[in-house]
Amino acid sequence: MSRRFRLLLAAVAAVPPLAWAGPAAADTVPAFSCDYRFSAWTGGFVADLTVVNHGPAVNGWAARWTFRSATGNLTAWQARMAQPDPFTVTATNESYNALIDAGRSVRFGWTASAASTEVPSDITVNGVPC
């Protein structure tokens, strides 16, 4: 072993290990669960989504999902809904239901026209998968 290599090993061994705290604690990110329910008829459906907050209180929320079939003519209650294309939907809080305390839930619903209906598999709330 060369003298240079031994000096390098000694220098590396003398450096204290860096402390790493790891990722942020899981309790700093709200965890949500969702319950999606719908009833369909030929050409349309009615649905509601209940969002339960398992994390700290959240003041302001946005739920997003994608329908597998083209959907239109959305009429919502307890949320403001936007549909930039026939598949993608964003629902945001009303002024009176923006706050979801820890352990509490918010529920909103809508009717829509669609050739077929399925439960979306990509629901997120404030960017967190539900």
**Cα(29)–Cα(54) distance, integer angstroms:** 10
What pLDDT is recorded for position 121? 84
Quick one: pLDDT at residue 35? Answer: 97
In a domain, 14, yes or no: no
Which token pair is 40? 């369909």
pLDDT for 107: 99
Tokens of 8: 């390098």
17-44 residue pLDDT tens: 433 344 444 455 669 999 999 999 999 9
Whole-number average pLDDT of the chain: 84
Asked whether residue 57 is assigned to any structural domain, the reply reads yes
Q: Which residues of 92-103 are buried (b: 16+ CB within 10 A; e: fewer)?
A: ebeeeeeebeee
Q: What's residue 94's pLDDT? A: 99
Q: Which residues of the chain have pLDDT under 50?
A: 2-26
How many CB atoms lie under 10 A from the CB of residue 108? Answer: 22
Domain with 59, as residue range(s), is 28-129
Q: Report the CATH number at residue 119.
A: 2.60.40.290
Residue-level pLDDT at 30: 62
